[in-house]
Amino acid sequence: MCNRILRIFSCLIVASVLLSACAGTSASAPANPPLRIAWNLWYGYYPLVIAAEKGLFEKHGVQVEPVFYDTYANQAPDLASGMVDGAMTVLSDTLFDSLSNDVQVVLATDNSVGADQVVVSSDIVNLSDLRGKRIGVESSNVGGVLLVRKMLEVNGISPSEVTFVEVSPEEVPASIPGLIDAGYTFDPYTSESRAKGDKVVFSSADAPGVIVDVLAFRKDITQNRPEEVKAFIAAWFEALEYWQYNVDDGNALIAKATGQKPEDIFTEGINLLDQNANILAFTKGTDYTSLYFAAEQEIQFVILTGDITQPVDINNLLNPSFLK
């Protein structure tokens, strides 16, 4: 009888130790690090700022670290290398060999309908005057290259009749007229150019659907941390709605985070895409309202530039499952 009691007592002690060990393991298990999201100065990306400033990511149960880039072109290499987990980027820029198999587009932030522009020096009177001139655009910025080439196409100018110069959108204002005669850029840099006498001669309003901005996560994040991706998107849509109904307050938050003036923040020239618009965008279609169609058109161009040497599986690249 005594031996039986001793055995039971011993088992209880062992069980207690095991439970304590499990509890200790659970308590000491490290939480996931914050999702590091690359972004730059672009009005379509500013719901990220509002969500961070309003504590909406924490409200939805996800830790997020926005990582600001003053040069857009530096985001893609860092996303490819894993230095950031996700990036606010242009759909066409996710198609490169270095990214297309390793990232998934989970959200469309906006369509550019005038906010992407080509500015020229004051001595350019007509677009035909661009023949023989220097146009600044980064070859790695497929959206910008597509817009510039569309401008040349509709005005009957062959790409061989101009000289392309590697100039980032951020550098365009300072590069005209010394280094280039025209350049692809967007606000706030367009405003800088206009302030010194340059003018806009072409924009994404003249080529609707060519430039759509998206959020892309590395595939290891979408596969291993899906609930956090869902939480991020839920916070994003809440921030977007807040901004739409509280424009002045939203602009003030953005100005504080970016160093801009509240009056210089606007959404003219872009269509911000809410949840319903996203569901439509992630539906297969036969025009630029569908991301599948837009990606297919852009793939054909990027193949010609040599930036794609392997097939891009659009169905794998675009992942709408987190929107529902």
Structural domains in the chain (count): 2
Q: What is the reported pLDDT for 30?
A: 56
State what percent of residues in the chain have pLDDT above 70.
Answer: 91
- For the cut 70, the answer to whether the pLDDT of residue 7 exceeds it is no
Contacts of 202 (CB under 8 A, 6+ apart): 117, 118, 127, 147, 150, 151
Question: For residue 141, which of 89, 69, 176 has the smallest C-alpha distance?
Answer: 89
CB 75 within 8 A of CB 69: yes
CB 305 within 8 A of CB 146: no
What is the rounded distance in angstroms from the CA atom of residue 177 to the CA atom of residue 79? 33
CB 233 within 8 A of CB 109: no
What is the rounded distance in angstroms from the CA atom of residue 115 to the CA atom of residue 101? 29
**Per the domain annotation, does 2 fall within a domain?**
no
What is the rounded distance in angstroms from the CA atom of residue 292 to the CA atom of residue 295? 5
- Whole-model pTM over 0.95: no
Do residues 260 and 194 both lie within one domain?
no
Domain endpoint, select from 185, 206, 227 = 206
CB 270 within 8 A of CB 44: yes
Indicate the range of 22-36, 128-142, 267-281 predicted with least confidence.
Answer: 22-36
Do residues 74 and 139 both lie within one domain?
no
Domain endpoint, select from 191, 206, 221 = 206
Do residues 274 and 219 both lie within one domain?
yes
Do residues 263 and 135 both lie within one domain?
no
Do residues 143 and 92 both lie within one domain?
no
For 307-316, the pLDDT digits (tens) are 778 888 999 9
Domain residue limits at 172: 116-206
What does DSSP assign to residue 123?
Answer: T
What is the rounded distance in angstroms from the CA atom of residue 183 to the CA atom of residue 175? 9
